[in-house]
């Protein structure tokens, strides 16, 4: 009865959590990066969002806002999924088919989540390394462990012919093997725990295949084929740390130690993983897709509104009621970006937030087939940005050098493929005359490529110089009774207002500072 009630409570928690924003505390995501790094290196033909753009768009926070995965495999897969931009509709349609199934089959979805929770969340589980580089984990001189394991057997078999000789061989062999096992096991502690997680993955995958395999296959996931080589591998997988701790005073641990059982099993398992690397990767991806499928379905329910993106040929963006997914009370904007555009406006008026809104929605459209908007139309294009730059102390690069390196990489991307690029305060790290001249040259060059460029800038001069090439939009504010009010709504045309000095006054700067600033600006104009 107690077990039944516990299961019912766990099931109710699953139902209650679905469609609610994840409540986990913000954490360092380094433990999730290994699968992404290995997959990106191996599959060099894939289109991967670079780390500058990822950081510019606060994609770690976007990931954590979406992440409601039940197991570590799902988390690692989602992290990689948000980096990998799809270039056609086929895989996105497959994911959408999965989303529809999650919505239409709530009982099966709950059953799936329970199994995925059983696989568990284990940070730094190490399994991703075995997906791509299992050969590096194989023990050297594996034959030696087999020989050492046979020596105690030889001692036992020798006893009927000579008790002392047989016992001495058994004793010496056992002593050597205990030493070898203890030392090697300490070195393989992490790998043996990885094997334990691999065992949990197999158990969970088999449960899914047994209970939901037919339905999963109709969604395009052949779990049975991925599992086929691993159906009888259970006996090969070495025991984990928890099992060994519980068995310390038992005959089992003595037997494992003397006959080097875990070391031999470990090497055989690694050989098996090397032999069936493709099936292992397929298994990992299927579990990842299923877990992230639940996660995305839940995320969509947490949104005020969302839409399925529509893709077209022209490198343009049309959006209705689009908003930033990380803001608690976002202001939605509608519009059509059919040409390169400069977004101007005074400080804190919403320029940077707007271009991040478009950039993030373009990423989400090409990864999870979801946009934070009522309508969103775009083309398949690479997303690149130059926004939240900093001095690079380790390399000795100043802010300006870091900035021009960032812009150079965007230019290179635009030479190689169709892009949509986002630049915030272009070349802000240098003096005004050179900034205007260099910015004009860079933006003219980008306009000549097959890319769409959105630039947020305070430099009104750029809107005049590039008026024939770039469209102009702006954000504005109102001052009433010494109070400032922003509406955060996109408007056509270039901005003609400034508010830096008024903001000094609004933030309580000394009256003399404000008056002198106003006097200086009036003389300059």
DSSP single-letter state for residue 48: B
Three-state SS string over 136-185 comes to: HHCCCCHHHHHHHHHHHHHHHHHCCCCHHHHHHHHHHHHHHHHHHHHHHH
Pull the structure tokens for residue 69: 């995965």
Q: Are 385 and 421 in contact (CB under 8 A)?
A: yes
The reported pLDDT for the residue numbered 212 is 94
The reported pLDDT for the residue numbered 111 is 96
Give the DSSP letter string of 354-404: HHHHHHHHHHHHTTTS-BSSSEEEE---EEEEE-S---BTTTTB-HHHHHH
| Predicted confidence pLDDT, tens digits, the chain (525 residues) | 555 566 777 788 888 889 898 887 777 889 899 999 999 988 888 999 999 999 999 999 999 999 999 999 999 999 999 999 999 999 999 999 999 999 999 999 999 999 999 999 998 999 999 999 998 998 888 889 888 889 888 888 888 888 888 889 888 988 988 898 888 888 888 898 999 999 999 999 999 999 999 999 999 999 999 999 998 886 667 754 344 444 445 667 788 888 888 888 899 999 989 999 999 999 999 999 999 999 999 999 999 999 999 999 999 999 999 999 999 999 999 999 999 999 998 878 899 999 999 999 999 999 999 999 999 999 999 999 998 766 554 555 677 788 889 999 999 999 999 999 999 988 887 788 888 999 999 999 999 999 999 999 988 899 999 999 999 999 988 877 667 788 999 999 988 766 666 667 776 677 787 677 777 767 755
The reported pLDDT for the residue numbered 496 is 74
Domains in the chain, please, with CATH?
Answer: 2-130+288-302 (no CATH), 137-285 (no CATH), 310-524 (3.40.50.300)
Helix (H) or strand (E) holding 455: strand 452-456
C-alpha dist (Å) from residue 459 to 262, 275, 284? 67, 60, 49
Q: Are 372 and 306 in contact (CB under 8 A)?
A: yes
The reported pLDDT for the residue numbered 520 is 76
The reported pLDDT for the residue numbered 185 is 84
Report residue 154 CA to chain centroid gap: 53
Distance CA 450, CA 314 (A): 10
Q: Are 150 and 232 in contact (CB under 8 A)?
A: no
Burial 24-53 (b: 16+ CB within 10 A, else e): eeeeeeeebebbbebbeeeeeeeebbbebb
The reported pLDDT for the residue numbered 166 is 84
Helix (H) or strand (E) holding 492: strand 491-492
- Scanning the structure block, which residue is given the tokens 């197991």? 71
DSSP single-letter state for residue 135: G
Helix (H) or strand (E) holding 485: strand 483-486
DSSP single-letter state for residue 246: H
Best CA proximity match to 375, nearest among 309, 297, 300, 303: 309
The reported pLDDT for the residue numbered 338 is 95
The reported pLDDT for the residue numbered 431 is 82
Three-state SS string over 314-350 comes to: CCCEEEEEECCCCCCCCCCEEEEECCCEEEEECCCCC
Distance CA 408, CA 437 (A): 16
Tally of CB atoms within 10 A around 505: 19
Best CA proximity match to 230, nearest among 200, 256, 260: 200
Burial of 485 (0-12, 13-18, 19+ CB in 10 A): exposed
């Amino acid at each position: 009865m107690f077990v039944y009630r516990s299961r019912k409570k766990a099931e109710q928690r699953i139902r209650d959590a679905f469609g609610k924003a994840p409540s986990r505390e913000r954490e360092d995501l380094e433990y999730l990066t290994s699968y992404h790094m290995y997959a990106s290196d191996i599959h060099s033909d894939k289109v991967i969002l670079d780390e500058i753009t990822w950081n510019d768009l606060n994609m770690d926070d976007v990931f954590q806002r979406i992440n409601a995965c039940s197991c570590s495999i799902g988390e690692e897969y989602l992290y990689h999924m948000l980096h990998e931009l799809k270039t056609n509709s086929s895989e996105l349609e497959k994911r959408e088919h999965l989303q529809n199934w999650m919505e239409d089959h709530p009982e099966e979805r709950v059953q799936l989540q329970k199994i995925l929770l059983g696989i568990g969340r284990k940070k730094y589980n190490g399994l991703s390394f075995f997906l791509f580089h299992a050969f590096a984990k194989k023990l050297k001189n594996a034959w030696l462990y087999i020989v050492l394991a046979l020596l105690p057997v030889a001692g036992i078999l020798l006893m009927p012919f000579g008790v002392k000789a047989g016992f001495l061989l058994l004793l010496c062999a056992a002593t050597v093997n205990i030493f070898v096992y203890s030392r090697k096991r300490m070195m393989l502690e992490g790998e043996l725990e990885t094997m334990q997680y691999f065992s949990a993955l197999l158990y969970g995958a088999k449960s899914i295949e047994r209970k939901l395999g037919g339905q999963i296959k109709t969604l395009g996931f052949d779990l049975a084929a991925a599992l086929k080589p691993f159906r009888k591998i259970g006996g090969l997988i070495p025991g984990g740390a928890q099992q060994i701790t519980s068995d310390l005073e038992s005959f089992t641990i003595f037997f494992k130690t003397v006959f080097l059982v875990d070391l031999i099993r470990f090497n055989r398992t690694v050989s098996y993983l090397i032999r069936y690397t493709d099936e292992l990767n397929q298994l990992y991806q299927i579990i990842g897709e299923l877990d992230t499928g639940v996660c995305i379905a839940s995320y969509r329910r947490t949104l005020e509104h969302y839409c399925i993106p529509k893709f077209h040929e022209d490198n343009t963006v049309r959006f209705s009621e689009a908003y930033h997914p990380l803001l608690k009370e976002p202001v939605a904007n509608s519009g059509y970006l059919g040409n390169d555009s400069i977004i101007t406006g005074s400080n804190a008026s919403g320029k940077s937030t707007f271009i991040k809104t478009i950039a993030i929605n373009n990423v989400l459209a090409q990864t999870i087939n979801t946009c934070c908007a009522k309508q969103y139309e775009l083309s398949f294009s690479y997303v690149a940005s130059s926004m939240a730059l900093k001095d690079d102390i380790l390399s000795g690069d100043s802010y300006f050098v870091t900035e021009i390196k960032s812009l150079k990489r965007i230019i290179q991307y635009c030479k190689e493929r169709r892009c949509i690029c986002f630049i915030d305060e272009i070349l802000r790290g240098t003096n005004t005359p050179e900034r205007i001249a260099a910015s004009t040259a860079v933006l003219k060059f980008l306009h000549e490529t097959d890319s769409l460029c959105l630039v947020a800038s305070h430099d009104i001069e750029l809107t005049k110089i590039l008026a024939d090439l770039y469209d102009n939009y702006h954000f504005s504010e109102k001052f009433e009774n010494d109070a400032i009010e922003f509406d955060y709504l996109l408007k056509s045309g270039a901005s003609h207002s400034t508010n830096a000095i008024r903001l000094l006054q609004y933030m309580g700067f000394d009256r003399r500072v404000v008056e002198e600033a106003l006097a200086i600006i009036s003389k300059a104009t």
